[in-house]
């Protein structure tokens, strides 16, 4: 069993910074019973050579979070810029010098019985040291899940809605108990949607193919990073189209992307080798590019990064520019 998070971590809760042990919600909280919350996942990578902690695309994460909260009619009273300030303060108070995962969560907080939500909303932000989520150094063995991905007309998969993660939990649990490292979920049409906590890419006939955002997937920010790197740095054609299950068995390369997993190559799927059954050249190349871009090694992509310790200006462009000059 994994250890619980350190109770002395400083978290942001109810508008204040406090130890994790003191940040508590009531047993009747609406979101606990009905899944009426929306969360985010953001990564920060520690770069030893620059003595800097680089947060990856926080502004976009907060924009996505606020937009997706709208689906459940949850209001977050701060702007994406103000949320970046909270995030920076949280990181500095914890004085992190390691890779970090940041988990903002907004939720319906009324404490009463009854599924219809009202207007009482709350939000919090937790950040904790976080290493590898899936250990994919040798590549993963993924299995197509017997569970189907939630449909847009049931619970929209494009938002990180707490209740929808029962679907991911069922699929992950099933996959692990069946000896797989990760689940791949199909949607109700039988098309490949995504992993339990990540998007999916397949390389076939020289193209990089990923399901469109209308095939019940989360509109991943790592997905966007990888598409940008593949197109700009490798000149690859990116195709967003539905993927059949059997294409997973005949493709050249397969990999998963997400804030927690980063880029994780899949070398076996449903007990069949993917390509040669080892990590392919494209995944290796993209892994290196993603690593370099997220650690501030590639000046073109420093605009994606917010430096925690050197950023003294407003988050976003100005901070990113400061990082650029201070690291170069
Ligand atoms: C179901 C699901 N799909 C995809 C992703 C990847 O999205 P992102 O790259 O924005 O983290 C996640 C992320 O956590 C996820 O939970």
Task: Report how far ligand 1's centroid is from the alpha carbon of 182 (Å).
Answer: 13
Looking at residues 25-43, what average pLDDT do you find? 98
| Same fold: 10-129 with 140-294 | no
Q: Which of 215, 271, 266 is nearest to 239 (CA)?
A: 215
Render pLDDT for 277-291 as a digit per residue (tens, 0 to 9): 999 999 999 999 999
Residues 6+ apart with CB under 8 A from 243: 191, 192, 200, 202, 209, 210, 211
Residue 52 clears pLDDT 90, i.e. is over it = yes
**Token pair 């459940």: residue:** 72
Nearest CA to ligand 1 atom 5: 198
Task: Report how far ligand 1's centroid is from the alpha carbon of 212 (Å).
Answer: 14
Residues 6+ apart with CB under 8 A from 123: 76, 104, 105, 106, 107
Which helix or strand (DSSP H or E) is residue 325 part of?
Answer: helix 317-327
Domain boundaries, the chain: 10-129, 140-294
According to CATH, the topology of domain 10-129 is D-amino Acid Aminotransferase; Chain A, domain 1 (3.30.470)
The whole-chain average pLDDT of the chain stands at 93
Nearest CA to ligand 1 atom 1: 197
Distances (CA, A) of 169 to 149, 196, 270: 11, 7, 19
> What are the residue numbers of the active site?
160
Which helix or strand (DSSP H or E) is residue 238 part of?
Answer: strand 237-240
SS (H, E, C) 191-205: EEEEECCCEEEEEEC
Looking at residues 308-312, what average pLDDT do you find? 76
Nearest CA to ligand 1 atom 3: 198
CATH number of 140-294: 3.20.10.10
Q: What's this model's pTM, rounded to 2 decimal places?
A: 0.93
Task: Report how far ligand 1's centroid is from the alpha carbon of 59 (Å).
Answer: 16
Token pair, residue 259, equals 């804030």
Ligand 1 contacts (CB < 6 A) are: 41, 160, 168, 194, 197-199, 218, 220-223, 257-260
Render pLDDT for 112-128 as a digit per residue (tens, 0 to 9): 999 999 999 999 999 99
Distance of alpha carbon 323 from alpha carbon 328, whole angstroms: 8
């Amino acid at each position: 069993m994994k250890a619980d998070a350190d109770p002395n971590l400083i978290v942001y809760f109810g508008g204040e910074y406090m130890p994790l042990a003191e940040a508590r919600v009531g047993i009747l909280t609406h979101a606990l019973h009905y899944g009426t919350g929306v969360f985010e996942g953001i990564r920060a990578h520690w770069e030893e050579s620059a003595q800097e902690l680089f947060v990856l695309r926080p502004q976009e994460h907060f924009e996505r979070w606020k937009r997706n909260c709208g689906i459940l009619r949850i209001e977050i009273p701060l702007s994406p810029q103000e949320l970046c300030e909270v995030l920076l303060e949280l990181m500095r108070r914890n004085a992190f010098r390691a890779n970090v995962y940041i988990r903002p969560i907004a939720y319906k907080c009324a404490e009463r019985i009854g599924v219809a939500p009202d207007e009482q909303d709350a939000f919090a932000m937790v950040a904790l040291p976080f290493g590898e989520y899936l250990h994919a150094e040798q590549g993963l063995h993924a299995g197509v899940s017997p569970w189907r991905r939630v449909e847009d007309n049931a619970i929209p998969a494009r938002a990180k809605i707490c209740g929808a993660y029962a679907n991911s939990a069922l699929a992950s649990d099933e996959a692990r108990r069946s000896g797989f490292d990760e689940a791949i979920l199909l949607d109700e049409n039988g098309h490949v949607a995504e992993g339990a906590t990540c998007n999916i890419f397949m390389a076939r006939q020289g193209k990089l193919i990923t399901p469109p955002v209308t095939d019940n997937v989360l509109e991943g920010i790592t997905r966007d990073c990888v598409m940008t790197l593949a197109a700009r740095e490798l000149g690859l054609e990116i195709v967003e189209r539905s993927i059949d299950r059997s294409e997973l068995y005949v493709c050249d390369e397969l990999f998963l992307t997400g804030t927690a997993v980063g880029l994780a190559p899949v070398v076996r799927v449903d007990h069949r080798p993917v390509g040669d059954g080892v990590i392919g050249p494209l995944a290796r190349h993209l892994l290196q590019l993603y690593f370099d871009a997220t650690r501030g090694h590639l000046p073109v992509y420093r605009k994606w990064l917010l430096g925690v310790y050197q950023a003294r200006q407003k988050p976003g462009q100005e901070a990113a520019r400061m990082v650029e000059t201070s690291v170069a």
